[in-house]
Amino acid sequence: MFKKNAEEKQITSHAVKDWLLNLTDAAHILDDILDECSIVSEANRDKYSIIHPKKLYARRSIGKKMKNVAERIDA
Q: Which domain holds residue 47?
A: 2-74
State pLDDT tens for residues 6-46: 565 656 677 778 888 888 899 999 999 999 888 877 776 76
Burial 38-47 (b: 16+ CB within 10 A, else e): eebeeeeeee
Helix-then-strand count for the chain, H and E: 3, 0
The per-residue pLDDT for 41 is 77
Q: Specify the number of domains making up the chain.
A: 1
Local confidence band at 74 (pLDDT 50, 70, 90 cut-offs): confident
Could you tell me which residues come within 8 angstroms of residue 69 by beta carbon, excluding any fewer than 6 positions away?
A: 26, 29, 30, 33
Could you tell me which residues come within 8 angstroms of residue 7 by beta carbon, excluding any fewer than 6 positions away?
A: 20
